[in-house]
């Protein structure tokens, strides 16, 4: 065993108590779906974890009816402090079952246990605790006097942070007094189904939370349902656009959290080693399946070579492999389709003349994997500089002046996140002011907190999640700028 080899330290799956087949969660019960059941697969082994029901249009209709009934008969009649008690109870159960949820998420998604254990699940609980506290204080949120819930919220989430995206959606919706029908992504439904069990365990009134599983068609029938008051979507820009088209002209409120192509800007006065850590967490955290990833690195020209060589040295120490191993830094890509997309975009980088470097790592025989990769000599016109890769691939470009850094950072159809690395606070503030991105980190990256609003500009969507701003999309308001359309 070499100096930096680690013995395997796999997390045990014995904490899991999974069913072989899962139904839909409607009206507080697991019921059969009427579509074609599908398998959810572990991306690191390609083994089937469980079979999951597909909700048809008629199933979606039942779920919406259950949510409407729960809204009219129970949830809207309950005081904020009563609603808050349920949210606090859910938050505590999430903490109690944290290890089980972390293992289930890692199994279903492919991300390292270190991340689900230390980031995803603690944030999920924090989100519920945070919004539980708002449930009886809505009049102080800044949404106007006597704020009212909207009714039934339809919520659709992606596969990159399955349970965390569920928490971002369900916690504020329930705190504001709405009931929900949520559709998890087809490749990662498992933790949403475990969350349904937690709703039962918390004695949440039947129908307040409903979970319908399925793919795009199920999502489309949910969005088009005539009896919903609100759509909250997190996912790709093309699907977000379709949803906006479906809802154009209707009174349904919409928030869209879409893709990104975040710029991480390093000035020559930055603490370089600290910046390297931020770049690594910015694009290699969660295999780069992060909407706000710092996927474009803008380095001041005079430090380019130093930054790139330190980055390559650091990336060579990352361990890729079994996501359940506590030593693993880079897990599996979530699906075969996503791996194909990453591969195709990386190949376009080669074809368009950029220089590829990948960390030398052993790729397991089974599963979907992509090594940490850095492209240098990238031009702003290259596809790898413009399109969201949603994988562990970094595109490095240079700049000479602060104005050039800003111009290059803003040269994207997206506007979700950015990072600034400099010693000078005045420069940080001046640059942040000029960047067209919803979230800007300075001397750090990918930090999340339930009290902080998150959301995009331009093709990254509209509306904010998190903080008191995250309540507005779920409350009636005469001011449309408060929370989406």
Of 105, 186, 291, 459, which one is the catalytic site residue? 291
Instruction: State CA 97 to chain mean position distance.
Output: 21
Query: Would you say the C-alpha torsion 105, 110, 113, 116 has a positive or negative sign?
Result: negative
Q: Is the dihedral of CA 201, 205, 207, 210 positive or negative?
A: negative
- Least separation in angstroms between residue 438's CB and ligand NAD is 8
Q: Which position among 110, 189, 259, 278 is part of the footprint of ligand NAD (CB under 6 A)? A: 259
Distances (CA, A) of 169 to 104, 233, 266, 392, 421: 20, 9, 33, 26, 31
| Three-state DSSP string of 30-52 | EECCCCCCEEEECCCCCCEEEEE
One DSSP character per residue, 285-335 reads GGGG--TT---EEEEEGGGHHHHHHHHHHHHTTPPBS-TTBTT-SB---S-
CA torsion 268-272-274-275 (nearest 10°) is 60
Smallest distance from the beta carbon of 319 to ligand NAD, in angstroms? 25
Compose the 398-437 pattern: x for residues touching ligand NAD by CB under 6 A, - for all others: ------------------x---------------------
Per-residue mark of binding to ligand NAD, 274-303 (x: CB under 6 A): -----------------x------------
Give the count of residues interacting with ligand NAD (CB under 6 A). 30
Smallest distance, ligand NAD to C-beta of residue 112, A: 18
Q: Which residues are bridge partners to 154 per DSSP?
A: 181, 231
Helix (H) or strand (E) holding 87: helix 80-96
> Is there binding between residue 244 and ligand NAD (CB under 6 A)?
no
In terms of CB distance, is 86 or 195 closer to ligand NAD? 195
Residue 257 bears catalytic tag: yes
Q: Which range binds ligand NAD by CB under 6 A, 89-97, 151-159, 391-399, 428-436?
A: 151-159
State the nearest-atom distance from the C-beta of 323 to ligand NAD, in Å. Answer: 18
195 touches ligand NAD (CB under 6 A): no
Exactly one of 54, 59, 108, 257 binds ligand NAD (CB under 6 A); that residue is 257
**Tokens of residue 338, six digits:** 């996503």
Q: Which of residues 343-402 bind ligand NAD (CB under 6 A)?
A: 388, 390
Q: 410 φ, ψ to 5°?
A: -85, -5
291 catalytic? Reply is yes
Shortest reach from residue 126's CB to ligand NAD, in Å: 17
Q: In angstroms, rounded to a whole number, what is the distance separating the alpha carbons of residues 9 and 118?
A: 16
Phi and psi at residue 273, to the nearest 5°: -65, -40
Q: What are 250's two structure tokens?
A: 């209707």
Residue 287, φ and ψ in degrees, nearest 5: 55, 25
* Least Å from the CB of residue 371 to ligand NAD: 21
Applying CB under 6 A, does 234 fall inside the site for ligand NAD? yes
Q: Binder to ligand NAD among 16, 78, 215, 430 (CB under 6 A)?
A: 215
Tell me which of 11, 115, 257, 459 is the catalytic residue.
257
Strands 253-257 and 179-183, by their bridges, are unpaired
Least Å distance between CB 313 and ligand NAD?
Answer: 29
450 binds ligand NAD (CB under 6 A): no
- Beta carbon nearer to ligand NAD, 75 or 195: 195
Tokens encoding 445? 């990256």
Name the segment binding ligand NAD (CB under 6 A); options: 48-56, 189-197, 258-266, 275-283.
258-266
State the catalytic residues: 257, 291
- Contact residues toward ligand NAD (CB under 6 A) are 156-160, 183, 185-186, 215-216, 219-220, 223, 234-236, 239, 242-243, 257-260, 291, 388, 390, 416, 456, 460-461
């Amino acid at each position: 065993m070499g100096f930096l080899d680690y013995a395997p330290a796999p997390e045990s799956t014995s904490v899991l108590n999974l069913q072989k087949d899962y139904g839909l969660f409607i009206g507080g019960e697991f019921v059969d779906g009427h579509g074609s059941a599908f398998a959810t697969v572990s991306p690191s082994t390609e083994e089937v974890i469980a079979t999951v029901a597909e909700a048809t249009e008629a199933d979606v209709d039942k779920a919406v009816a259950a949510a409407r009934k729960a809204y009219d008969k129970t949830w809207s009649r309950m005081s904020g402090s009563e609603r808050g008690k349920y949210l606090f109870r859910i938050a505590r159960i999430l903490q109690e079952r944290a290890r089980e949820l972390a293992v289930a998420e890692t199994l279903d998604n492919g991300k390292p246990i270190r991340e689900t254990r230390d980031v995803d699940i603690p944030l999920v609980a924090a989100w519920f605790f945070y919004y539980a506290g708002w449930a009886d204080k809505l009049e102080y949120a800044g949404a106007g006097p006597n704020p009212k819930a909207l009714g039934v919220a339809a919520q659709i989430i992606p596969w990159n942070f399955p349970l965390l995206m569920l928490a971002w959606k369900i916690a504020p919706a329930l705190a504001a007094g709405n009931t929900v029908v949520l559709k998890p992504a087809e490749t990662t439904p498992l933790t949403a189904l475990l969350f349904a069990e937690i709703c039962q365990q918390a004695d949440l009134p039947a129908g307040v939370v409903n979970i319908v599983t399925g793919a795009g068609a199920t999502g489309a029938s949910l969005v088009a349902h005539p009896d919903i008051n609100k759509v909250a979507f997190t996912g790709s820009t093309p699907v977000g656009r379709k949803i906006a088209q479906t809802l154009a002209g209707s009174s349904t409120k919409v928030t869209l959290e879409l893709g990104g192509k975040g710029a991480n800007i390093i000035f020559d006065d930055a603490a370089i080693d600290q910046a390297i850590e931020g770049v690594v967490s910015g694009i290699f955290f969660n295999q780069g399946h992060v909407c706000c990833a710092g996927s474009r690195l803008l380095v001041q020209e005079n430090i380019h070579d130093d930054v790139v060589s330190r980055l390559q040295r650091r990336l060579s120490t990352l361990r890729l492999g079994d996501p359940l191993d506590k030593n693993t830094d880079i897990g599996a890509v979530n699906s075969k389709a996503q791996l194909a997309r990453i591969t195709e975009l990386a190949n376009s980088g080669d074809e368009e003349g950029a220089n590829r470097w990948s960390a030398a790592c052993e790729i397991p025989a089974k599963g979907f994997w992509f090594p940490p990769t850095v492209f240098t000599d990238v031009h702003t016109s290259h596809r790898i500089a413009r399109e969201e890769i949603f994988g562990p691939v970094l595109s490095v470009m240079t700049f000479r002046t602060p104005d050039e850094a800003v111009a290059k950072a803003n040269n994207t159809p997206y506007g979700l996140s950015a990072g600034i690395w400099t010693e000078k606070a005045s420069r940080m503030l001046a640059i942040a002011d000029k960047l067209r991105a919803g979230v800007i980190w300075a001397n750090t990256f990918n930090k999340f907190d339930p009290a902080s609003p998150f959301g995009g500009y331009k093709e990254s969507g509209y509306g904010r999640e998190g903080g008191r701003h995250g309540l507005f999309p779920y409350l009636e308001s005469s001011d449309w700028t408060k929370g989406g359309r």
